[in-house]
Structure 1
Amino acid sequence: MGTDIAGGVEMRPDGPGSPWQLADVSLDALPRHYDAFGLLFGVRNHAGFEPVAPGRGLPDDAGADLLALLADGEHDHTWVTWAQLASVDWSAQAPRVDDRIHEYEMTSQGPRLVGKAGHHGRAWREVAGEHADHRGSSYPEGTEWRAADRMWRVERLTHGDVLRADPQLRALLDRMRELAERYGGDNVRLVVWFDS
């Protein structure tokens, strides 16, 4: 079973001390992107990022419209202001390699990422050996296995890799930045929770 994100963007149009209001910004388009979940909130953090805003719970002053979005069975409630997101160094690397081994198809244009997974199928096992560990973090960065038109590689992600892979997250952050330019970075926040 996978993990999905839900929540909303809140703003304080009248500044600090005023009530938070739910902005007209939907999170419905956000995909199940574990690298983004891990980097921002520490949820499904297979890539080993130092999360920006993990485990904060719901804000004590969350608005009623936001609270109305909650449902049973959610977990890992947390939040982050635009000011905190604006200070993220998008060129920084994760402190360790990704737990998932990255799989590439070798093409005439160069390697094409097929996916990342904690457990690979028979083809990878035949190359790496039956007793090979399926966790990328068990191997030095850059370790590779090749067979036919496939390559499996142990890699370390950067914060920027998350944005490049997720145009919906970029669009959400752009919208938050627009709100922050109007209301101030500490008066715009993203409040989220997860469902597994």
Structure 2
Amino acid sequence: MGTDIDGGVEVRPGGAGSPWSLADVLTDDLPRDYDAFGLLFGVRNYAGFTPVAPGRGLPEDASPELRRLRTVEPVHDCTWVTWAEVARIDWTASAPRVDDRIHEYRPTSAGEVLVGKASHHGRAWHAVAGEHADPRGSSYPEGTQWRTSDRVWRVERLRTGDVLRRNPQLRALLAGMRGLAERHGDDHVRLVVWFDS
């Protein structure tokens, strides 16, 4: 069973001390993206990012509208991040360590095409890596790779920018937050989330 995200964006139109209200920017369209979950909130952080806003809990001053969104139980890892914090992310930075998931590619005449990332692999990988090889990428030096005629498995380190490049829904959500921050101020826009598994 995987982990999904839910929540919403809140604004504080009256500035500090005024109540938060739910904006019309929701997380409904966000896909299951463990790289984004790990970078922003430390949830399913296989990529080894230093998370921006892990484990803060549901804000005590969360709006009633947002609290009503929490219909799925049980949820875990409630947390939140302001636009000011998101705006400070260095989108060129590398994760401090390699990804726990080994990246799998299919060679083509135009170059390698990403098939996926996993912490478990099939028979083909075990045939070249060994039956008892550790399937966690962080067990190997960056750049370690295994090849067959139709697959390449490689230990890689992600960059924060990879999260945005591969996730148009997250880019749209952050663009919505940026627009709200231009009207209300960077510290008066926040994304509040929780997860279910």
Q: TM-score, normalization: structure 2?
A: 0.99
Match of 1:156 in 2: 157
Which residue of the partner structure matches residue 5 of structure 1?
Answer: 5
Alpha-carbon distance in structure 2 between the residues aligned to 1:93 and 1:29: 26
Alpha-carbon distance in 2 for matches of 1:136, 1:65: 42
Asked if 1:33 corresponds to 2:36, the answer is: no
Q: What is residue 51 of structure 1 aligned with on the other side?
A: 51
**Which stretches in structure 1 are left out of the alignment for 5+ residues?**
none
CA distance in 2, matches of 1:168, 1:106: 28
Structure 1 residue 79, shift from structure 2 partner: 0.1
Q: Cα deviation per residue 1:112-147 (whole Å; 9 max; x = unaligned)?
A: 100000000001000111111100000000001000
For each residue in 1:82-104, what CA deviation from the matched residue of structure 2 results, as whole angstroms up to 9, or x when unmatched? 00000000101100000000000
1:26 deviation in Å?
1.9
| Runs of 4+ displaced beyond 6 Å | none
Q: Is 1:77 paired with 2:78? A: yes
Residue 68 of structure 1 aligns to a residue in which SS?
A: helix
- SS in structure 2 at match of 1:152: strand
CA shift, 1:190, in A, is 0.1
3-state SS, counterpart of residue 25 of structure 2: coil
* Counterpart AA for 2:173: L
Distance in 2 of aligned mates of 1:178 and 1:35: 24
Counterpart of 1:114 in structure 2 is 115
Partner of 1:173: 174
TM-score normalised according to structure 1 size? 0.99
Specify the SS of the correspondent of 1:24: strand
Q: Work out the CA distance in 2 between the residues paired with 1:178 and 1:24.
A: 12
Q: Which residues of structure 2 form unaligned runs of 5+?
A: none
3-state SS of paired residue (2:104): strand
What does 1:62-141 correspond to in 2, within 5 Å? 62-71=62-71, 72-141=73-142
Looking at structure 1, the residues matched to 80 and 7 of structure 2 have their Cα atoms a distance apart, in angstroms, of 9
* Structure 1 CA distance for aligned equivalents of residues 123 and 107 of structure 2: 18
Tell me the SS of whatever aligns to 2:85.
helix
How much does 1:188 deviate? 0.2
User: CA offset at residue 60 of structure 1?
Assistant: 1.1
Deviations 1:27-52 (A, max 9, x none): 11100000000000000000000000
Identity, % of aligned positions: 73
Q: Secondary structure at the match of 2:152?
A: strand
The one-letter code sitting in structure 2 at the alignment partner of 1:122 is: R
Superposed CA deviations along residues 4-47 of structure 1, whole A, max 9, x for unmatched, are: 00000000111111110000012111000000000000000000
Between the aligned partners of 1:187 and 1:159, the Cα distance in structure 2 is: 24
How many residue pairs match? The answer is: 196
Give the distance between the partners of 1:177 and 1:149, measured in 2 at CA: 43
